[in-house]
């Protein structure tokens, strides 16, 4: 059984830079974040969508897309937010 070689740090970095370059080509603003030590997250928004793309040290890429249901609420929904946060101990 042969071992699968993990990508080098430079390959992971090259993949991240390539992704950022493509966002730049399409004039998509983004933020970089780190919520776990082995990953760099790229966050960006498109109309009705918010994306989180994480580049992990081992070479994997994890993608989450959050889509709006298209419903626009008024500020009364914020009461529910504050109640939910309070019940979570926040």
1 found inside a domain: no
Whether 2 maps to a domain, the answer reads no
CATH number (domain holding residue 50): 3.30.160
Nearest to 71 by CA among 51, 48, 44, 50: 48
> How deeply is 19 buried, as exposed, middle or buried, from its count of CB atoms within 10 A (0-12, 13-18, 19+)?
middle
Task: Give percent of the chain with pLDDT exceeding 90.
Answer: 83
Span 74-84, average pLDDT: 94
Range of the domain at 57: 9-87
For the four alpha carbons of 33, 35, 37 and 41, in that order, the dihedral sign comes to: negative
What is the per-residue pLDDT for 5?
54
> Are the C-beta atoms of residues 56 and 43 closer than 8 Å to each other?
no
pLDDT of residue 2: 47
pLDDT digits (tens, 9 = 90+) for 36-76: 999 999 999 999 999 999 999 999 999 999 999 989 999 99
The pLDDT of residue 6: 65
The domain total for the chain is: 1
Query: Which of the 8 DSSP states describes residue 38?
Result: T
Q: What average pLDDT does range 20-34 have in this prediction?
A: 98
Return the higher-pLDDT residue of 64 and 9: 64
Q: Is 79 left (phi over 0), alpha (psi -120 to 50) or beta?
A: alpha
């Amino acid at each position: 059984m042969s071992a699968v070689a993990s990508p080098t740090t430079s390959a992971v970095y090259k993949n991240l830079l390539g992704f950022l370059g493509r966002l730049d080509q399409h004039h998509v603003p983004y933020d970089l974040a780190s919520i776990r030590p082995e990953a760099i997250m790229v966050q960006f928004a498109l109309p009705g969508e918010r994306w989180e793309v994480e580049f992990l040290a081992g070479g994997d890429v994890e993608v989450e897309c959050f889509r709006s249901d298209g419903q626009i609420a008024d500020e009364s929904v914020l009461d529910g937010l504050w109640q939910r946060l309070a019940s979570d101990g926040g």
